[in-house]
Amino acid sequence: MTGRLRMTSRWAWVIGGLALLLGLTGSLLGALPERPCPVGLARGNPPREAHRVVLFEGYEIVAALKAWDRVAGISSYAYGNDLLKQVVPHLEQIPSPGTGFVVNAESLLALKPDMVVTWDRKPDQVDFIRRQGIPVTMIYPEGLADLCRDTLRLGRLLGQPERAEKVTQLMTRNFAALKQRLTGIPAATHPRVVWLWGKPTTITGNKGVVGELIPLAGGINLGSKVENFNQELSMETLVELNPEVVLIWGSASYGVSDLLRDPKWQTIRAVKTGRVFKASRGSTWSPRVVVLAWWMAHCFFPQEISPAEYRQAVDAFYRECFGIPYEGIP
């Protein structure tokens, strides 16, 4: 696989630190399962440095790396990204040859890229790009350690390895600070949580970044026994789970009011108590998962973590990571 990673001692320190953090978090929030490195993320040669990169994925990571001088093209989805609108003044001038789902071959070839960054769930498209003679780096973080590895990979690819290390260390420090902040909160008060995806009956499982963030932020993931990224459940099963907090994916077409008004949800505790929240549209394949983790903790423990404290923490992170103040909710 093009763009695979060989761990170096410097990179291993960052990933080791995050792994240690997650291990320590287990004593407070319930043990987190180990996440083996997905094939292609931790083995093979590091990605070679590129100078004309097309980003179908990873553009929020690149926002933290501050490497837009190497970007020749972006996914059309990037034009609507709230973060990029703030940190990339020339966003609308960057051409788009398509998305990670559909590529316009003529537009892609016209950009003369020396690397394409995309996800690994469309193998036919990846093969097509490679047949055009264009190298491909694939990312698909299955957890926080994978996200750090992919950040380091893109840093190497875009000539910003030191900046990538700083970003991953910043993420690790923020997760550690959140863990420390939650110390002392009685385990009996940790809420039972579901995270809903595109359908209000599809919950997150025990794989993926969100599945790790919930316990990191002090919640009990009711999808922890689902051996997948997500799974659709019957409404009867959701009623039986009876979550105390419901979190909704920021890009879902429905919102908080839809669940609060839906007769099928009225017996669920989170609806009865009004503890249904919708996240921002920020990517979960991004350093902005730090913001998501603090927001979750605020939703779980509003009496402990006030809106002012949450905003202060994420504003400091935003300024150091992206160079701008935090203005979103969350």
Please report, for the chain, the start and end positions of each structural domain, with discontinuous segments joined by +: 9-169, 184-321
- List CB contacts of 238: < 8 A, sequence separation 6 or more: 194, 201, 203, 268
In CATH, the architecture of 9-169 is 3-Layer(aba) Sandwich (3.40)
Evaluate whether 180 touches 213 at the Cβ level (below 8 Å): no
Torsion sign over Cα 243, 246, 247, 253:
positive
Alpha carbon distance, N-terminus to C-terminus of the chain: 36
pLDDT at 281: 86
Helix (H, G, I), strand (E, B) or coil at 297: helix
CATH topology of 9-169 equal to that of 184-321?
A: yes
Q: Which CATH superfamily is domain 184-321 in?
A: Nitrogenase molybdenum iron protein domain (3.40.50.1980)
pLDDT at 132: 92
Question: pLDDT tens digit string along 230-283?
Answer: 999 999 999 999 999 999 999 999 999 999 999 999 999 999 999 999 999 888
Beta-carbon count within 10 A of 59 CB: 25
Q: Which two tokens stand for residue 173?
A: 């420090």
pLDDT at 293: 97
Q: What are φ and ψ of residue 74, in 5° steps?
A: -140, 165
Torsion sign over Cα 175, 39, 63, 92:
negative
Is 50 exceeded by the pLDDT of residue 92?
yes
CA distance 41 to 137: 10
pLDDT at 41: 36
Evaluate whether 259 touches 200 at the Cβ level (below 8 Å): yes
Question: pLDDT tens digit string along 14-71?
Answer: 445 554 444 434 433 333 333 323 333 333 345 689 999 999 999 999 999 999 999 9
Question: pLDDT tens digit string along 285-301?
Answer: 999 999 999 999 999 99
pLDDT band for position 10 (50/70/90)? very low
pLDDT at 35: 35
Question: pLDDT tens digit string along 168-210?
Answer: 999 999 999 999 999 999 999 999 999 999 999 999 999 999 9
Is 50 exceeded by the pLDDT of residue 3?
no
pLDDT band for position 121 (50/70/90)? confident
Query: Residue range 312-328: average pLDDT?
Result: 94
pLDDT at 256: 98
